[in-house]
Amino acid sequence: MLSKKILTAVFFAVIILFPAVTLFLPKQNFSELENRSLATAPTFSLQSITDKSFMDQTETYLADHIVLREQIAKAKTALDLLSGKREIGGVYVCDDMLVEHISQPDADITASNAQAINAFAQKYADTMQTTVMLVPTAEAVYPQKLPAFAPHIDQTEYIRSFYDQLDNVNTVDAYTVLTAHQKEYIFYRTDHHWTSYGAYLGYTALAKPLGFKAATADMFNIEHVSHDFLGTLYSKALCGEKMADSIDLYTYSQGDPVTDVIRYSGKNKQTYSSIFFRENLEGKDKYTVFLGQNNGLVRIQTNVDNGKKLLVFKDSFANAAMQFLTLHYEEIAVVDLRYLNVPLSDYLDLSEYDQALFLYNVGTFTSDTSLRKVTTY
């Protein structure tokens, strides 16, 4: 029977050629698409055999290095979409954008985050005024775009109940201003971050509680630096190449106030002259054009010369807001607690700062357990 012979031939060709080609082709160490190191070759030893780590490593090594891996992964997404699935890798595939699905928040983490912020505000009550802004994600701003009947948490309710747990802290509503401008390009289509314009809107919401007068949008020169940005949501879902994003950089038309950007890592520090890291536009993760890769502490110094100093505790949403906040401070210390491994006082004298801002997006905040460092460090 001819058909059986063809089947046999194809079957053996696949199970022999796939591993053979994989074996002989040069291996990649890093998957840019996934932003992670790929598995290394398994190590053979009595120990690794008896504890089965050798076997597990072999399986992940094969899966990580199999030839055509990324193409196959994209094909799988296409098949999933074909079967009617609209949530792929935790991302809702909507008609004109990808939207990150935020899972049910952990009440304990939320409560301990509130406690940490309260303790911080209490501790520095004499010298610093503390402000908190939780930014809703695209899932909350665009519920009408989600797949029909797709479950999603009520982020406004979450933010409100979180704010209710805070004492002696200014709280900022970012939801209203973002929703009012939802027709505009305020969230990337293939990335979970807000765009520069989205960050600008967040900045206007901060004006009153932080006590500055927000510059109007037309006071900035806008530079379109990328038109083919495929962000984190693309990496997760592996579809929507056609929705590729553009990135805008905002600079103040009366001159960029930023003089020094100092990135600390361990005992070393490195100084740059701009908050934009344009070389990152060449790579996959183009959002890191804003302030670079996440880092425990970045100090931004400006020529504003008004004596005001701001301390920001944040996730990466805040990185895009620095283009605007730098107009109003002589110095901004940007702290990412997730990457901070030494006490902050090793670097900074906290008594110099008059304001503290906690700027997080709901997506990371609901599972971020690093906030407790804010008082212990």
Partner 1 sequence: MVFSSMTFLFGFLPIVLLIYYIVPQRIKNLVIMISGLLFYAWGEPVYVLVMLLTIAIDYGAGMLMERFDGNQKRRLAVMITAVVLNLLFLGIFKYSSFVVQNLNSLFQTNIPDPQLPLPIGISFYTFQAMSYVIDLYRREIRVQKSFVNFAGYVTLFPQLIAGPIVRYSDVEAQINEREISTRKIGDGISIFIRGLAKKVLLANTIGAIWTTVKAMDYSTLPAATAWIGILAFTFQIYYDFSGYSDMAIGLGKMLGFEFPQNFDHPYLSKSITEFWRRWHMTLGSWFRSYVYIPMGGNRVGKWGLVRNILVVWMLTGLWHGASWNFVFWGLYFGIILLIEKLFLGKLIQKLPRILQWLYAFLLVVFGWVLFEMDSLPAIGGFFSAMFGLNGAGFGNKESIYLLLSNAVVILLAAVCSTMLPRRLFGWCRRKWQIGANGVRLTTELVLFFVCICYLVTSTYNPFLYFNF
9: which residues sit within 8 A by CB, 6+ positions away?
none
- C-alpha distances in Å from residue 352, one per residue of 69, 123, 128, 248, 295: 52, 14, 9, 33, 21
Residues 230-249 that bind partner 1 (CB under 8 A): 232, 235-236, 238
Contacting residue, 28, 29, 35, 273, with partner 1 by CB under 8 A? 35
27 contacts partner 1 (rule: CB under 8 A):
no
User: How many CB atoms within 10 Å of residue 372?
Assistant: 16
Contacting residue, 112, 251, 274, 285, with partner 1 by CB under 8 A? 285
Nearest to 253 by CA among 230, 284, 222: 222
Q: Which is nearer to partner 1, 43 or 253 (CB)?
A: 43
Helices 2-24 and 53-65 cross at an angle (nearest 10°) of: 100
Number of residues located near partner 1, criterion CB under 8 A:
65
- Binding string to partner 1 for residues 309 to 348, with x set by CB under 8 A, is what? ------xx--------------------------------
Stretch of 45-53, 153-161, 208-216, 266-274 contacting partner 1, by CB under 8 A: 45-53
Q: Which is nearer to partner 1, 324 or 365 (CB)?
A: 365
Residues 138-197 that bind partner 1 (CB under 8 A): 147-151, 192
25 contacts partner 1 (rule: CB under 8 A):
no
- At residue 77, φ and ψ (nearest 5 deg) are -60, -45
Task: Give residue 331's identity as a one-letter amino acid code.
Answer: E
125 contacts partner 1 (rule: CB under 8 A):
no
263 contacts partner 1 (rule: CB under 8 A):
no
- C-alpha distances in Å from residue 144, one per residue of 53, 95, 96, 129, 152: 46, 11, 12, 37, 11
Please give the DSSP secondary-structure letter assigned to residue 334: E
As a whole number of angstroms, the distance between CA 245 and CA 231 comes to: 8
Stretch of 1-9, 153-161, 302-310, 322-330 contacting partner 1, by CB under 8 A: 1-9
307 contacts partner 1 (rule: CB under 8 A):
no
As a whole number of angstroms, the distance between CA 319 and CA 250 comes to: 13
Residues at the interface with partner 1 (CB under 8 A): 1-8, 10-12, 14-16, 18-19, 22, 33-36, 39, 49-50, 52, 55, 58-60, 62-64, 66, 69, 72-73, 75-76, 79, 82-87, 89, 147-151, 192, 232, 235-236, 238, 285, 287-288, 293-294, 315-316, 363-364
